[in-house]
Every structure is written in structure tokens, then in C-alpha cells.
Structure 1
Amino acid sequence: MKKNYRIWIYLSLVIAIIATIGPFIWMFLTSIKTYEEAIKIPPSILPEITQWINYKIVLDKFPFIQLYFNTFVVVLGVVVGQIIVSSLAAYAFARLEFPFKKILFVIVLSLLMIPGQIFLIPHYNIMIALKSTNTLRALIIPGLFNVFGVFLLRQFFMGIPKELDEAAMIDGCNRFQIYYKIIMPLAKPGLVALAIVTSLNTWKSLMWPIIVNRSMEKMTLSAGLAFLIGEHTTYYEQVMAGAVISVLPMIVIFIFFQKQIVEGIASTGIKG
């Protein structure tokens, strides 16, 4: 009975793995096909003619060095901003006592139920007021606050014993010193998890960069590659080649830091 149970578990895991990596394999195989093979119905899995020139065509069409630079700057700015803002808010909800704290936290969490598209127009109006349209600032500022980050770190902070705060206060530390000298170092797994999740979400962000920026010099990778979709004809093999180039850094980061992601997410359930 146990043997059959294990077989079903392994079979389920294999199916999950195939479902996860299947799209990436299909994306790569399509990127080395000809245009005729890429649009053929029924589709072929393996390319009959390997065509690596698709990568050269895409690299010649777009300023990938500029797009990569813009993307890294935006990701770094959003990650640093979210860690600072989210950790301060999470520390307040986890450690400080103030009127209506629970009600305010519920209100903050309720923002998770609101589709992000609703905030596009307010964000755009704010960027116009700040004279930041068509700049990298416009891609960073709206991402500085994230409700999920506040929830993640708040749950992590609540798992840290409050006795450490009391001991630090006896030694003369104030609240801010407790925050950055005790809480933040102990919350490193949660901070790393938030940084990686934020990096992935920012890297693949598409709608907002296209709306707020107009020139290719201010685009990120995902937004720049959207211009591969033609009005009348789309060369899918080139689209897939561009997607492979853009997604590789995130795959590498996820492979190296997947342990920290799992630890950080799992730690949120320690104390609610």
C-alpha cells in the first residue's frame, strides 16, 4: 500500500515538473525554428532546421545592453525601496502598539483583493505631477510599497521572540536601534525571499512600463520585447528568442536562491 502511495506521489511530482519546465523548453525550441515551423499546425516539437540566426536578428533589432541596464536599475531600486518601506511598516504592525492597529492591518491586507490595473490611472497622474513620465523613476516609485511584502515581513517579525526587544531596551536601545540591529539581521531569510520575489515580479512587469514610458531608451526588457509583436505579422521564433534572452538571468537567480525563497515563505507561518 505504501509502495503504491509513493508511486503516485512520484508520478504527481514528475507531472508537476513537466508542467513547470515544459513552457521553457517549448520557448527555446521555438526560438531556433524557422518562421514556417513556428506557425505550423499541428506544431512540431523539435525543429527540422535549426536556425540560431533568430538570436542575432533580435540582438540587432533592439539595444539589449540598454534594456538590461534599465531593467537592473529598476529592479535594484524597487527591491531596495520595498525592503525599507515594507520592513518599517511590518515592524510597526508586528511590534508597536497604536490605536486601531488590527483594523489598519486588515485594511492594508484588503488591498490584495483589488486588481492592480485599478491603480494605473492614479499612478500615471502622480507621475505627470512629478514630471517623471518617460523616466526610470516612473518605473521605480509606484513599486516602493507592496502589501505582500508588509504581510510577509510582519509574519516573519512576529516569529522573533519579543524577549529580545526587552533585553535590548534594558541595554538602552531605542525602537529604531532594535529594528535595524536585532530584527533586520534575524529576518534575513524573509528579506531575501522578499527581494527575490520582488525581483521576479519587477523583471517581468509589462503593462506599467509600456504605459508610462514612450522611448525605447527608457524601456525595460519585457516592455521592449513587446514591440516584437507586429501589427500584421508576428515572427514568433524571434519573439521566443527575445524571451529566452530576457528570462535567463531570472532563471539563474531563482536556481541559486530557491532555498532562501522556500525558507522565507515557510517562515511566515510560524506565528500569525
Structure 2
Amino acid sequence: MTRRIMLTSFLLVTVTVVLVPFYWLIVGSTRSTEEVFGSPPPLLPGAHLLDNLAKLESTIGFSRVVLNSALIATIYTLLAGLVCTMAGYGFAKHAFRGKEALFGLLMLGLVIPGQVTLVPLFKMMLSLDWLNTYQAIILPNLALPFGIFLMRQSMSALPDELLSAGRVDGCGELRLFVRVVLPPMRPALAALGIYLFLYQWNDFVWPLIALRTREAYTIPLAIAALQGANETDYGQILAGTAVAAIPMAILFLLLQRHFVSGLLAGAVKE
């Protein structure tokens, strides 16, 4: 009984620590800057949410920014999901010379900081005249090492006999991949999709370098641009952050079962 009480208390404290910043984000998004920094700080939502959203729209065209982020993140998720899934299938179920060495080289991307590649990547985009375009944001990270690793581990648990049966029935590799391999991988694909979408939705450093005009900005860049040198409207910033964070939190809560089961897929081999 004592152990259960201690565990419950620990979980309650942990949940409180995690949720309090989100609650303050919601409260702050409905307040003006003066109220945000008032003493004592406000604990209940205010009446300035619509004002803050209207200021966001007039200042940075926030609806266009949200559309930019949604379009980029959606296209990236679809393309990167296809690349990572096909690469994971190749590493898991096909034998070719140098496979282990190539996979080990790919996994170096998990430990090498992304900042190392920013300068050569910028020069590459400059030479292709792709700066300030969607493809400059979408294409460089399609072969995401973690995504390939996740799909490779999940597909390693797929029985080879299932693939052999498909080939005996006359399936070509493409049909085998679509009809036999992908259906059992739905939990892993859901986890991969959530990870890829959040990865691109929250990305800041590379879009900051590659995008030049405010018309092309994504949500993190637009919110950062609201911070002025002399004056900052924190009501706007908190409202924009809430618009960016709350839908993603709801998406994760709705799909968390698929996310967890997808991450655990292939973790235990029979």
C-alpha cells in the first residue's frame, strides 16, 4: 500500500510539472503583455485571445504561416515516410554486399550533430538556387536516420516465410512491398508519421537559414520574428505558440497508442 501511494504521488507530481507550463501557455495566450507580467500573475484565462490572434494576423499573416507549416510538414511526412520505409525494408529483408557497413555508416547520423551539416547544406541549396523554396526545407532530411532505423527494426520482426509465400504467388517486389509488407507495419508507420510530422513542424534552425522572406516563414520562424529589440508583445507570442502547440498535443494524445506500439514493434524477437 505504501509503495502504491508513493508511486501515485510521484506520478501526480510529474504530471503537474508537465501540465503547468501548458496551462500557463493557455492562460498567457488570453492575456495582454501587461497582464502576463502582472503581480500576482493571472491564474485564469482572460479576454484578449481574439485581440492577440488579430494582432498576429496583421503583424505576420499568421494564417499564411500556419498554412506554410502544415503544407511543408504534410509533404515532408509523406515523402520521408516513403523513403524511410523503403530503406528500412531494404536493410531488413534484402541481402547485398556491404549492407552492415552501410547501415552502420547511416547510423552515424544519429550521433553527429545536425549543425555540422548546415554550411555544406547551405552551399548545396545555394548552388541549386533552391533557397527560400519549399524543396530546400523538405528534401534534405528525407532519409532521416532514426526513421530508417525504426522501420528496419520493425520489419526485422516480419517473418521471412510471409515474403517467400508472396513471391511464390507471383508478387513482384513493388506489389510485395505494398500488399504484404506494409499492412502489418501500420503501428510502426503511425509512429513514424507522428515523429516525422512533429520533427518538421517544430524545426527552426534549418528553415531560419534557408528561408529569406516572411511570406515563406514557418510557425517557429514567425514566432521568433515577433521578438523585437525594444518591445515584445508576449501576448501575441503566447497565442501563436498555443496555436502551434495545442493541435500537435491533441494529435499525439489521439494517436499515442499507435505511437507507443509502433516504437515497441520489433523490440522483442520471438
When normalised by structure 1's length, the TM-score is 0.92
Structure 2 CA distance for aligned equivalents of residues 103 and 95 of structure 1: 16
Specify the code of the residue in structure 2 equivalent to 1:46. L
Q: Once the 2 structures are TM-superposed, how far is the Cα of residue 89 of structure 1 from its aligned partner?
A: 1.0
Q: Once the 2 structures are TM-superposed, how far is the Cα of residue 263 of structure 1 from its aligned partner?
A: 1.0
Q: 1:46 aligns with which of 43, 46, 56?
A: 43
TM alignment of 1:1-272, pairs within 5 A: 3-40=1-38, 44-46=41-43, 50-52=47-49, 53-271=51-269
Indicate the SS of the match to 1:33. coil
TM-superposition CA deviations, 1:64-97 (whole Å, max 9, x none): 2211221111111111111111111111110011
Assess if the C-alpha contact under 8 Å between 2:188 and 2:263 holds in 1: yes
Specify the code of the residue in structure 1 equivalent to 2:95. E
TM-superposition CA deviations, 1:109-138 (whole Å, max 9, x none): 121001111111122112112211111111
Gaps of at least 5 residues in structure 1 are: none
Specify the code of the residue in structure 2 equivalent to 1:10. T
TM-superposition CA deviations, 1:185-237 (whole Å, max 9, x none): 11111111100111111111111112111111111111111111112222222
Structure 2 CA distance for aligned equivalents of residues 198 and 186 of structure 1: 20
TM-superposition CA deviations, 1:147-204 (whole Å, max 9, x none): 0000100011011111101111211223333222211111111111100111111111
Structure 1 CA distance for aligned equivalents of residues 131 and 191 of structure 2: 30
Gaps of at least 5 residues in structure 2 are: none
Structure 1 CA distance for aligned equivalents of residues 251 and 45 of structure 2: 32
Q: Once the 2 structures are TM-superposed, how far is the Cα of residue 103 of structure 1 from its aligned partner?
A: 2.0
Q: Once the 2 structures are TM-superposed, how far is the Cα of residue 257 of structure 1 from its aligned partner?
A: 1.1
Structure 1 CA distance for aligned equivalents of residues 143 and 156 of structure 2: 20
**Aligned pairs, how many?**
269
When normalised by structure 2's length, the TM-score is 0.92
For the aligned residues, what is the CA RMSD? 2.0
Q: Once the 2 structures are TM-superposed, how far is the Cα of residue 43 of structure 1 from its aligned partner?
A: 6.2
Assess if the C-alpha contact under 8 Å between 2:163 and 2:176 holds in 1: yes
Assess if the C-alpha contact under 8 Å between 1:32 and 1:54 holds in 2: yes
Q: Once the 2 structures are TM-superposed, how far is the Cα of residue 255 of structure 1 from its aligned partner?
A: 2.1
Decide whether aligned partners of structure 1 residues 151 and 180 sit closer, same or farther in structure 2, where only a CA change above 3 A counts.
same
Moved more, 27-36 or 224-233: 27-36
Structure 2 CA distance for aligned equivalents of residues 133 and 109 of structure 1: 28
Q: Give the percent of matched residue pairs that are identical in Structure 1 and Structure 2.
A: 30
Structure 2 CA distance for aligned equivalents of residues 239 and 64 of structure 1: 11
Decide whether aligned partners of structure 1 residues 47 and 192 sit closer, same or farther in structure 2, where only a CA change above 3 A counts.
closer
Specify the code of the residue in structure 2 equivalent to 1:216. R
Decide whether aligned partners of structure 1 residues 198 and 48 sit closer, same or farther in structure 2, where only a CA change above 3 A counts.
closer
Specify the code of the residue in structure 2 equivalent to 1:107. L
Structure 2 CA distance for aligned equivalents of residues 221 and 177 of structure 1: 39
